[in-house]
Structure 1
Amino acid sequence: MNDLTGFQRDLLYVIAGADRPSGQDVKEEVEQYYSAEINHGRLYPNLDTLVNNELVEKGQIDRRTNYYAITDAGEEEIHERREWENHYVEM
């Protein structure tokens, strides 16, 4: 996960915490967290990076809407990241 940007990690966390969200669902969650509008030119290339890195799976809901789902590799990356974070910051 160390090769992902912070934005890509945030997308991965949102997808992991939802049940097959659409791109629009992911966008709305991230916009709420960032308190800013996220344009499609930023969102979808970063989602594609997660798919290409096999951390997220992309499927079709209908002809216009895709869903995103965390893969086992994506879950493992999150788990390893959390362990690394906890090594430095325990709450």
Structure 2
Amino acid sequence: MYDLTAFQRDLLYAIADQDEPHGLAIKDELEKYYEKEIHHGRLYPNLDEIVNKGLVEKGELDRRTNYYTITARGHRELEARRKWEDQYVSGFLSGPK
């Protein structure tokens, strides 16, 4: 996951939290978090990138709409990232030593 951008990591988290979300549902979730519009030209190339890396699978709902799911590898990468973050955040949250 070290080779992902922060936006691509956020895409993974947004997809993992939903059941087979389509692109616009992911876009809406990220717009709430970022508090600004996410343009299609940013969203879909980054979705394609994490699909190409094997972290997400893309399926087809109909001719115009795709859905996305986290792969087993994507889940492992998210878990590894959370463990890595926790070693730093847990110390921060417990206050000064």
Structure 2: tracts of 5 or more residues without a match: none
Kindly provide the CA deviation profile for residues 18-42 of structure 1, in whole angstroms up to 9, marking residues without a partner as x: 0000001000000111010011000
Aligned to 2:82: 82
Normalized against structure 2, the TM-score is what? 0.92
Seq. identity, %: 62
Moved over 4 A (4+): none
CA RMSD of superposed structures (Å): 0.6
Deviation at 1:4, TM superposition (A): 0.4
Residue aligned with 1:67, SS: strand
TM-score, normalised relative to structure 1 = 0.98
Larger radius of gyration: 2
CA distance in 2, matches of 1:25, 1:87: 31
Aligned residues: 91
Shift of 1:49: 0.5
The residue type equivalent to 2:47 in the other structure is L
Looking at structure 1, the residues matched to 34 and 43 of structure 2 have their Cα atoms a distance apart, in angstroms, of 13
